[in-house]
Amino acid sequence: MKTKNIFLSLLAGSLVFTINAQTPKLTLDLTKPGANVSPMLYGLMTEEINHSYDGGLYAELIRNRIFKDNPAKPDGWSLIQEDTNTSKASMKIIAGQDNVPFDERRNAITGALQSCLRLTVEKAGSRVGIANEGYWGIPVKPNTSYKASFYLKGSASIQPFRRPGSQQPAQPAAPVIEDNTAGPITVTIESNDGKTVYASGTVNLVKSTFWKKYELTLTTAANVKPTADARFVISTNRVGLYYFNLVSLFPPTYKNRTNGNRPDLMQMMVDMKPKFLRFPGGNFLEGPLLTDAFPWKQTLGALENRPGHKGSWGYRPSDGLGLLEFLLWCEDIGGEAVLGVYAGYSLNGDHVDAGPLLQPYVDDALDEIEYVMGDVKTYWGAKRAADGHPAPFKLTYVEVGNEDWFDRSGSYDGRFVQFREAIAKKYPQLICISTIADAQYPDLMVKSGKKPAVLDEHYYRNSWAMWENASQYDKYDRKGPKIFVGEWATREGAPTTNMNAALGDAAWMTGMERNSDLIIMSCYAPLFVNVNTATSTAPKAWQWDSDLIGYNSLNSYGSPSYYVQKLFGSNLGNKIIPMTAENIPTQPRPLTRRDSTDGITTPPQVPTVFYSATKDLKTGIIYLKLVNTTGRQQPVEINLKGIGKVLPEATMIVIKGDKPEDTNTITEPEKIMPVTLKVKGIAATFTRPLDPYSVTLLQLQASK
Ligand code: AHR
């Protein structure tokens, strides 16, 4: 996504405004250096929600590649039978489970790959095969090479077999089908109606009773029109039984990483200049039950050893994007890991008490930290090296759990302290983050021992609440713990946010930025959403409304909130400039149900103009951010107290909408985009009109 660069300097610079008594006046005090801006103020938060990885960032195109999504039927797969008069075929999941007849169980490849798909071809007068629909379509792009791979073996029909001495009833006799499977197997990316083949190739299936991995590259032609109306097909014209497992199709990935990520989504994150990535959740860290936490150990190494797991958002993550991939993601975006470790509390409300029963969880977290940052001579550091990354990753913060305020038992105090002590003993340099914050849940706060160094606060609000609370951090105790705003968003618009949400976000961010001596880190959530709605074969892709970056399998786009994040992240100094404000206009906030419970009957007045300023001491650039939440143009007087001289021309970037509901979508991705202008008339005191419903950045340059 590109920023529109429109240089309308003359026009924008020549506008003159009458200042009246009501004109808001902002004074930037440049006479003394302000506090430091936290160098990690803006980062990203991620988890497997809304098909963020499978069907999202993780570039794998095959849905249900190891046939474990649904033990009853091969979700995502369909049978191809070109001519039902001349061919007869069926397909079936063969699950490595006790309820499967013994004869059909002997098809595991590894402990992770115990289920497979069997294609039975009884008559093969025309093409028969299996098709994968991908994550709401296989994306076809011109001149593109796709790496396909799969495990395959062929056989004749199974003859009933009874384990010696088994009491199991005899199996019904299977139809007798000869094994004619050896020979060419055709692999295609084709339109869903099968009429257009975009890319094709063959592999030669060898006669063997053992599994074998087949690999090939499929390349599309230069004249192919991009489409997501496509499927991946493996087909034959010979009878026999065909067994498939770990079927994979990768398009080009970011930095050509094997098992890597989508380039477009990676680039959008890189453009935000994030300083960290909080992972693996969110609820995804915890899982529904105590047995469902993010299983980091089984997300390492070869895909053949990754069984996937239950997940927290109604679908089964493949864990193709596992712990190492999270860490490489950090590396690729130039940020460090903020690692959430599972702390013995799950989403159903169960917890493990502090003490000996919790110790295995603590040990698991210590192993995980060792994998991330341990020397190659350590057990887990050596594993990381064996996985291809000998260099330790940078780690400063470890978050103990996620949203443990939901655990009303009060057990977090003991659990947090047990984790903190064990982590401090082995890694004194690490800082542990508590997921319970004083401001939000004072009664549940960790009270044993010293106060937690950092508290994670989460805020999901509408824009009114964001505007009303944008200055909440102005009042926080500077002697208390530092604050990590580990999840926050203005929730308006679906699946991605609208302009009003972006105005809520921007106002909120000015508050965090002005207080970034206290707010050491912050990250918006959720980051990603696959925007596909339900089809006849696949459910709606997302579980959570109001997300930052939307996509289908072919394209992606940024919400207005994304552009605000990008604007704030890439225009940040290293010193906070203290500001004072006069005549800030207000508007009445509509009363809520909560107000009536609290006995509030007069609508509270909420500001309509928000501001923050930082300075880069190296370049001398002042970044002034201004937000106008109303539909009126709003002049603002700016006083640069103590600036000396300032260049008369400044760069200005504006994000705005015609109305609060305006938004970007997958079909209209660039309705709201930042516009860059040059403006004149900058002086020690000047006035700028703020456009209706706008976020404005001014880059002011002091001169000698
Ligand atoms: O961001 C969506 C969810 O909101 C997260 O998984 C959870 O931590 C929070 O409740």
Q: Is the distance from the beta carbon of residue 104 to the nearest atom of ligand 1 less than 6 Å?
A: no
Residue among 441, 458, 548, 549 to mutate when testing ligand 1 (max atoms within 8 A of CB): 458
* pLDDT of 160: 61
CB burial string 606-618: b at 16+ within 10 A, e below? bbbbbbbbbbbee
449 alpha carbon – ligand 1 mean position (Å): 28
Task: Say if ligand 1 is within 6 A of residue 287 CB.
Answer: no
3-state secondary structure of 361: helix
And the tokens for 344? 């013995």
Chain-centre distance for alpha carbon 626: 28
The residue contributing the CA closest to ligand 1 atom 2 is: 526
What are the helix (H) ranges across 61-111? none
Closest approach atom of ligand 1 to CA 460? 4
- Is residue 323 in contact with ligand 1, taking CB distance under 6 Å? no
Tell which one of 46, 52, 279, 283 to mutate to probe ligand 1, the residue whose CB is within 8 A of the most ligand atoms: 283
Would you tell me the crossing angle of helices 323-333 and 263-272 to the nearest 10 degrees?
50
CA of 461 to the centre of ligand 1 (A): 13
279 CA to centre of ligand 1 in angstroms: 12
Q: Which amino acid residue places its CA nearest to atom 4 of ligand 1?
A: 282
Residue 703 has a pLDDT of 78
Rounded to 5°, the CA angle 98-302-380 comes to 105
How, if at all, do strands 336-341 and 395-400 pair? parallel
Q: What is this structure's pTM?
A: 0.95
| Gap from CA of 336 to ligand 1 centroid (Å) | 21
pLDDT at 174: 63
404 C-beta closer than 6 A to ligand 1: no
Q: Is residue 526 lining ligand 1, measured as CB closer than 6 Å?
A: yes
Three-state SS for 698?
strand
Residues with Cβ < 8 Å from 91, sequence gap 6 or more?
74, 77, 79, 117, 118, 119, 120, 130
Atom of ligand 1 nearest to the CA of 526: 1
pLDDT of 13: 36
Q: How many CB atoms lie within 10 A of CB 188?
A: 25
> Which among 560, 606, 313, 671 is positioned nearest to 468, based on CA atoms?
606
Q: pLDDT tens digits for 263-296?
A: 999 999 999 999 999 999 999 999 999 999 999 9
Is the minimum distance from the CB of 401 to ligand 1 under 6 angstroms? Answer: no
- Residue 161 is predicted with a pLDDT of 58
Gap from CA of 655 to ligand 1 centroid (Å): 27
Measured in angstroms, how far is the CA atom of residue 527 from the centroid of ligand 1? 11
CB of 47 closer than 6 A to ligand 1?
yes
Burial grade of 704 (CB within 10 A; 0-12, 13-18, 19 or more): exposed
- Ranges of the chain whose pLDDT falls below 70: 1-21, 96-105, 159-174, 704
Indicate which residue's Cα is closest to atom 9 of ligand 1. Answer: 282
CA of 488 to the centre of ligand 1 (A): 9
CA 412 to ligand 1 centroid distance, Å = 18
307 CB-side CA count, 13 A: 17
What local confidence, expressed as pLDDT, does residue 166 receive? 65
* Gap between the Cα atoms of 674 and 655, Å rounded: 5
Rounded Cα distance between 492 and 494, Å, is: 7
Q: How many CB atoms lie within 10 A of CB 403?
A: 20
Kindly give the distance from the C-alpha atom of residue 434 to the centroid of ligand 1, in angstroms, as a whole number. Answer: 16
pLDDT of residue 98: 60
